[in-house]
Amino acid sequence: MSTNKRKQLYKIIILGDSGVGKTSLMNQYVNQRFTQQYRATVGADFMAKEVTIDDRMVTLQIWDTAGQERFQSLGGAFYRGADCCVLVYDITNKKTFENLESWKEEFKQQGCPKDPDTFPFVVIGNKSDKASERKVETEFAQQWCKSNGDIKHFETSAKDDTNVNAAFMAIAKAASSQF
């Protein structure tokens, strides 16, 4: 009899304002690449990466937005079935941090998670290499995360590849924690 009924594929979705570095983070994590200029993603809705968590090999299916986050709601199909939702802001842009709340609400409404109160979110403050232009203090962001259901918080640089792996390991763990 099979004893391991745990999922092997986890759907991760990355949300946040346009320009915060969502595509860059995913590209750094999956392909170890960073470029300054981004073409809008054409065709590819997600990238897959295999990781080992707790001695289990699983696949992370990481869904990115192709620029449409600027204009419209992404629609239920994009959100549905997600195992973890990553909310990204830019540490040099306060507005992108303030908008996390509405991204979180958008996800809860559109994604219809089974238990919205315990659904795993992870918050990433990206562009930590631009410390001299910082507008969002680490402690301030941590406090927000704490009072919003104790969300895990990371600061990363997709450019320098700082903390990107650590953040995605936590994302993988959060995704698999419910199963």
Query: In sequence order, what are the residues at sequence separation of 6 or more whose Cβ sits closer than 8 angstroms to the Cβ of residue 164?
Result: 25, 28, 29, 156, 157, 158
Give the one residue of 12, 13, 15, 20 binding ligand GDP; rule: CB under 6 A.
Answer: 20
Answer yes or no whether residue 93 interacts with ligand GDP by CB under 6 A: no
Give the one residue of 7, 19, 53, 134 binding ligand GDP; rule: CB under 6 A.
Answer: 19
CA distance linking residue 15 with residue 122, whole number of Å: 10
Among 56, 55, 50, 9, which Cα is nearest to 29's? Answer: 50
Q: Which does 19 bind (CB under 5 to 8 A by kind): ligand GDP, Mg ion, none?
A: ligand GDP
**Collapsed DSSP state (helix, strand, coil) of residue 142:** helix
Q: Which does 36 bind (CB under 5 to 8 A by kind): ligand GDP, Mg ion, none?
A: ligand GDP
Amino acid present at 70: R
Structure tokens at 59: 């696949």
Answer yes or no whether residue 47 interacts with ligand GDP by CB under 6 A: no
Q: Which is nearer to Mg ion, 14 or 58 (CB)?
A: 14
Answer yes or no whether residue 21 interacts with ligand GDP by CB under 6 A: yes
Judged by CB under 6 A, the chain residues 117 through 136 that form the site for ligand GDP are 126-127, 129-130
